[in-house]
Amino acid sequence: MLIFLLAVDLSLIFGLMDVLNFAHGGLFAWGAFFGIWAYGKTGSFGLGILGAIIIGIILGFLMERLIIKPVYGNHIQQILITLGVMLVLSEMLKVVWGANPIAAKTPDWLEGSWSVASLVFIKYRMFVILIGAIVFAAVMFLMKKTRFGLIIRAGVMDKEMVQALGIDVRKIFMMTFMFGAALAALGGVLLGPYSGVIYSDMGAQYNILAFIVVVIGGMGSVSGTLLAALLISIIGAFMAYYVPDLSLAVNMLIMALVLLFKPTGLFKAGDA
């Protein structure tokens, strides 16, 4: 679910905006650091989550207006400039919070586990799964039941036609980018207590994973992103336990097989 939160809007940005945003992981990392910092200052994990979402929205707005807007339609420039932004965001984390990893404590009310028969359910992991499920349901409702979602799906299939109908696609682009940045930041702050530590270069690591998920699931598909995130996570967990040296390679192998037999991904572009 953490990978889904990071990758879902990256998929929509690919599909709707045709933007190769390699700085998405930086938003993820900033959400983690700012959210954990707010959590430490206030003592409230809820306020930490809110802080992460807010910083994600702010950074998403600034990035879309100042960085992405001038390079729409030029993939080479998008790759170069967003890679640069990714490095800048990572270095800014070091300037603000230092280069050393920071511990991220699990909230007291989410510590421990529940035992049901012979099964053990860790509270925090169940909380993350619940948040991911809620976000998935909310995004699906937005995509299928609202006018905004209709415009997004129409833009995925035919951006020029949407513009011809008098709809301000640029505004939709900006709102979609901000929404995705908020989801990435949410994934970041939720990852903190899960892993127990956050570090400035975490964005680059999870950025690669997000792109693998997007390619496997299909650009512009929320359901495909969720399915791909679950597939990558479960297979990766098994490989990390039985053959640790191949845990990363198996992700690349799955992506290669999908590209070989179904280049559009598990779901077609624009499918919800």
At residue 156, the pLDDT reads 63
Instruction: Classify burial at 12, counting beta carbons within 10 Å of its beta carbon; exposed 0-12, middle 13-18, buried 19 or more.
Output: buried
Q: How confident is the model at residue 20 (pLDDT cuts 50, 70, 90)?
A: confident
Query: What pLDDT, on the 0 to 100 scale, is given for residue 236?
Result: 83
Domain-by-domain residue ranges, the chain?
Answer: 2-198
pLDDT of 34 reads 96
Quote the pLDDT of residue 140: 86
Mean pLDDT value of segment 199-222: 85
List the one residue out of 11, 1, 33 whose CA is nearest residue 179. 11
Burial class from Cβ neighbours inside 10 Å (0-12, 13-18, 19+) for residue 90 reads buried
Task: Write down the pLDDT at residue 123.
Answer: 92
Is the overall model pTM greater than 0.95, yes or no? no
pLDDT the model gives residue 51? 95
Percent of the chain clearing pLDDT 90 (strictly above): 33
Which amino acid type is present at position 45? F
Q: Is the pLDDT of residue 221 over 60?
A: yes
Q: Where is 101: in which H helix or E strand?
A: none
Is the pLDDT confidence value at 269 over 60? Answer: no
Span 48-99, pLDDT tens digits: 999 999 999 999 999 988 988 888 778 888 889 988 999 999 999 999 998 8
What pLDDT, on the 0 to 100 scale, is given for residue 130? 94
Amino acid 15: pLDDT: 66
| pLDDT score, position 37 | 95
Which of 16-30, 41-55, 165-179 has maximum average pLDDT?
41-55
pLDDT in tens, 105-135: 999 999 988 888 888 899 999 999 999 999 9
| 219 — pLDDT class (breaks 50, 70, 90) | confident
pLDDT, tens digit, 9 for 90 and up, residues 160-175: 777 777 777 778 878 8
Q: What pLDDT is recorded for position 245?
A: 77
Which pLDDT value is given to residue 271? 54
Task: Find where tokens 């991904």 sit.
Answer: 265
